[in-house]
Structure 1
Amino acid sequence: MRLSSTRLGRANLDRLAPRSRRPAYDRSRVTPGIVHLGLGAFHRAHQAVVIDDCLAAGATSSASSWGIIGASLRSPDTRDALAPQDHLYTVAVRAAEGTEHRVIGALLDSVVAREKPGALVERMANPAIRIVSLTVTEKGYCHTPQTGDLDERHPDVVHDLNNFDAPRSAPGFIVAALARRRAQGLSPFTVLCCDNLAANGHTVQRIVTQFAALRSKDLGKWIADTVAFPCTMVDRIVPETTDADRDAVAAALGMRDAWPVMTEPFTQWVVEDRFAAGRPDLAAAGVELVTDVKPFELMKLRLLNASHSALAYLGYLAGYETIADTMRDPYFARLAAQVMEEAAVTLTMPAGTDLAAYRASLLKRFANPALHHRTWQIAMDGSQKLPQRLLGAMQDRLAKNLPIATHALAVAGWMRYVTALDEQGRAIDVRDPLAAELAGLAREAGPVAERLAPALLGVEKVFGPLGAEPRLREAVTAALGRLFKEGARRAVETHVSA
């Protein structure tokens, strides 16, 4: 099949294949009201789609003032792919029964922070910008996950404190822009975190105010007193885009899109309705506006994210490339269900919440054969993810004197994975901020659970005081011993069959 060489762009939207959706509004009238830090696939498949819906539903001129300026903090790849096509891109929604294609127009422009940091600060300081949102992943906040505090020794934090107007980190950009707005007598923007941090709004507020206070106590107090940091919960599975995906999208559109995003039909966004400078009509786009996000956040972290991580580490070790491949193994599907069942007892949900239905929907989503979500991709940055996804539930179960063997097996899977050697002795490309430290501990301990488990449990940034808890140490060491002895596939089968 010969693919079209025509590039997606504003001038040829009317030439899209008839079944492809396009922006349902006059894009030329849209002005920016949001700067988004972390212009990755998740944002483009989730928050940007919601804003696209808001723009389409808008009945007033003010509804068109919520366009997005995206910022990549490091890599120019997304900007370089999207700028030649007027920042239009395709969301391909994949289900077993077929794929729907939709071109998104909410993204108006993009910048690369490392190239011109001062220019990004200036755009964030513009009074037209009323929300700065973020998807920079857990590691992008330069914090210690176990405590939720700013890591003052982080290289980017040290740099930013000495180069206030040319920052590198997300906290650095936010504080520099807020400081400029304060100096100009302008009201602050709302900081809207869309990452999987525990109490993400409160956590980011703490990180940002701690950073600001290192520059000026008065600035830190002003931010603490005036800036809104709503908590949120985001949920949509977004695998990385492959060349085969690009070819499939080009065939469907009748033109090339350099960087489409792949996703699933399910999407959810729960937001604390607390904004300092207004917001789009999010409810019109299906967003759940609530006064307390925490129950929904813990539900997602401890049911979806925890089971996802368990499948990722143990599935990768067992030789499965994707989550859907892993779920085809009935023992792994049972493992995912057990992680959810055992975490569910640690949750307190609002009346009417059907946790059993939510768990069933997660298992169905994980098994979606059209969604090629790689175990290796989910396994990234585990040192940042474990406290929120697994350790909190383990701590709560221990407090109730409940067993933790299932979660311990998932943690042991992470420990086996970060040794950087798989079960056949081949190298694992471990992507983690602590990868070198973890690999060093693994080399020193060797493949002996009684040495490796205590060594990794002693990493304060990951486990904190919980790493010294005797019941946790015993359960994780036993699970890691089974992984070394039996391999991941057999260890999972043994565990879920017990």
Structure 2
Amino acid sequence: MARITKDSIQFGEGNFLRAFVDYCIQILNTETPFDGKVSIVQPLPNGTLSELKRQKGKYHLFQEGILDGKTQRNRIQIDCIDQMINPYESFESYLKLAENENLTFVFSNTTEAGIAHDENDDFNASPPQSFPGKLLRFLYQRYEKFNGDKDKVLHIIPCELIDKNGSKLRDIMTALCDQWQLEEDFKTWLKTNHFYNTLVDRIVPGFPTKDLDFYKKGLPFDDRLMVTSEPFFLWVIEGDQKLLELFPVDQLKDVNVTIVPDLGIYRTRKVRILNGGHTTIVPLGLLHGTPTVSGCLEDPFLKKFLSQTLYEEIIPSIDFDKEALEDYAQSVLERFSNPFIIHQLASISLNSISKFKVRVLPSLLNYNKKQNKIPKNITFAMAALLYFYGKEVSQHQVALKDDASIIAFFDQVWKDSSVGEVVDKTLSNTALWDQNLTEVPQLKETLTQALTAITSQKTIAEAYQAFNP
């Protein structure tokens, strides 16, 4: 069968892209007629590209964890990387990549802050500072090289964890066209490039921090950029099925790439079940004296609490196929119990109030609307969160990591206030929730009961038993 040569450029050389996009390209090259090389562009002045060059673009990926009830641990060498360009050192080499006839895809992960409009960015800089600026300059080079040929447009697939990432990237680049006063013909050509919204889902701890001798054993070279990940892999791309003619990911057995007309439910599912599960269990686990996610899944009380919350409260609050949501929840619990990933609850606790608002509160409100009652476990988790932020009362040893104004609010609200007053002042603080939660039927009363149980009992488990006997 004839090979399909489709090359890519990738903005970012970090662990995630190397364990996600590059792994996917590697498997495509091995299992399908796809024949693709990836040229990596370092998006920031400082990075690890020099080390990757030392290794000639090669490194090893170790996939470790539980998938479909089975423990997996395997290794694969990645060798699909071609050129490695630092545009801050060799801007001409960077622009030369745009002249590749076979170039088809652009991938990126420049963090959530990367897709942003820099009003001070300069077309004539070598390179422009922002990622959208760099990509726009790159596309302009391609436009000029091929005289605006519409057959030379690219498929741009960002992996940054923001909603509508492709649409936002396109809009920022369009605004930069105006800012840089680029010609109308180029703007028209730019809009014929394909920008995709995506959702990526894979936990990538990165370089192994323990048992290093195990990972080094049998390697053909000294790999200083080996990367570990869980075996779970999900990549949802919002687009037309015609993309499969260029990117035949539907032929892969062990890599789940789904192309859909609307990825909304996939984002909702991930945010509410996976991220919401994390946010729900963090204050309970830390107050219970359990420091890690996998430790929570080994503790009978915390495991039962999380499972009940997912299956009996969060899933019923989501308007989607129940069986599909339950299958996803089961995979989430498997992933949380991964013995190879040490995920500290303290690190997940960063900005817990805003995370609760985005990840958990919608489940509480939707459940209340659909069931005409308050979900007890979510409310208890919210009470644990309020108690966790009242450090002078809870006396835990974990540092609060949040906006200074939020920490100050809880410091003040817990001083000389009764439990009922803490609940009332917190729920009515629209700066926290973007709405007055005292107006939600039964929430104030139920949350007061939960927080009363927590403040009056010795342990969080005893408090839950008192609240929900």
TM range (shorter): 0.7 to 0.9
| 8 A Cα contact 1:394 1:407, kept in partner | yes
CA distance 1:259–1:309, change in 2 (3 Å): farther
| 8 A Cα contact 1:314 1:413, kept in partner | yes
Distance 1:112 1:366 in 2: 37
Among 90, 94, 108, which residue is 2:60 paired with? 90
Q: Indicate the residue corresponding to 1:320 in structure 2.
A: 290
CA distance 1:484–1:31, change in 2 (3 Å): farther
TM superposition shift of 1:52: 0.5
CA distance 1:467–1:94, change in 2 (3 Å): farther
The answer as to 2:335 corresponding to 1:365 is yes
Unaligned runs of 5+ in 1: 1-28, 143-151
| 8 A Cα contact 1:190 1:229, kept in partner | yes
Q: Structure 1 residues 287-296 or 418-427, which shifts more?
A: 418-427
Give a deviation string over 1:135-179, Cα, whole Å, max 9, x none: 34434434xxxxxxxxx7xxxx35437987644443343344345
| 8 A Cα contact 1:302 1:343, kept in partner | yes
TM superposition shift of 1:86: 1.7
TM superposition shift of 1:325: 0.9
Distance 2:90 2:353 in 1: 28
The answer as to 2:284 corresponding to 1:311 is no
Q: Indicate the residue corresponding to 1:194 in structure 2.
A: 159
TM-score after normalising by structure 1: 0.71
Percent identity of equivalent pairs:
21
CA distance 1:50–1:390, change in 2 (3 Å): same
Within a 5 Å distance, the mapping from 1:337-376 to structure 2 comes to: 337-341=307-311, 342-349=313-320, 354-376=324-346
TM superposition shift of 1:53: 0.5
| 8 A Cα contact 1:238 1:373, kept in partner | no
Q: Indicate the residue corresponding to 2:105 in structure 1.
A: 131
Give a deviation string over 1:191-247, Cα, whole Å, max 9, x none: 213244334444544555456555559779648842322233322222243431533
Among 410, 435, 439, which residue is 1:470 paired with? 439
| 8 A Cα contact 1:307 1:336, kept in partner | yes
Distance 2:331 2:438 in 1: 34
| 8 A Cα contact 1:92 1:262, kept in partner | yes
Within a 5 Å distance, the mapping from 1:251-266 to structure 2 comes to: 251=217, 253=219, 256-266=222-232
Distance 2:144 2:409 in 1: 47
Unaligned runs of 5+ in 2: none
Distance 1:325 1:165 in 2: 49
Q: Indicate the residue corresponding to 2:236 in structure 1.
A: 270
Q: Indicate the residue corresponding to 1:236 in structure 2.
A: 202
Distance 1:346 1:70 in 2: 42
Which secondary structure does the structure 2 equivalent of 1:243 belong to?
coil
| 8 A Cα contact 1:69 1:110, kept in partner | yes
Amino acid at match of 1:364: E
Between the two proteins, the alignment pairs up a number of residues equal to 444
Q: Indicate the residue corresponding to 1:174 in structure 2.
A: 135
| 8 A Cα contact 2:61 2:228, kept in partner | yes
TM superposition shift of 1:125: 4.2
Q: Indicate the residue corresponding to 2:14 in structure 1.
A: 40
Within a 5 Å distance, the mapping from 1:433-444 to structure 2 comes to: 435-436=403-404, 438-439=406-407, 441=409
TM-score after normalising by structure 2: 0.74
Q: Structure 1 residues 324-333 or 337-346, which shifts more?
A: 337-346
| 8 A Cα contact 1:130 1:189, kept in partner | yes
The answer as to 2:431 corresponding to 1:458 is yes
Distance 1:298 1:407 in 2: 17
| 8 A Cα contact 1:117 1:166, kept in partner | no
Distance 2:98 2:391 in 1: 43
Q: Indicate the residue corresponding to 2:260 in structure 1.
A: 290
Distance 2:114 2:413 in 1: 30
Give a deviation string over 1:49-89, Cα, whole Å, max 9, x none: 11100111343xxx33342415354642x334433212222
The answer as to 2:79 corresponding to 1:105 is yes
By relative contact order (CA 8 Å, sep 6+), the higher-ranking structure is 1
TM superposition shift of 1:122: 2.9
CA distance 1:281–1:112, change in 2 (3 Å): same
Q: Structure 1 residues 50-59 or 354-363, which shifts more?
A: 354-363
| 8 A Cα contact 1:422 1:428, kept in partner | no
Distance 2:389 2:126 in 1: 37
Q: Indicate the residue corresponding to 1:147 in structure 2.
A: none
| 8 A Cα contact 1:453 1:477, kept in partner | no
Q: Indicate the residue corresponding to 1:25 in structure 2.
A: none
Aligned Cα RMSD in Å?
4.5
Q: Structure 1 residues 299-308 or 246-255, which shifts more?
A: 246-255
Q: Indicate the residue corresponding to 2:42 in structure 1.
A: 71
| 8 A Cα contact 1:323 1:374, kept in partner | yes
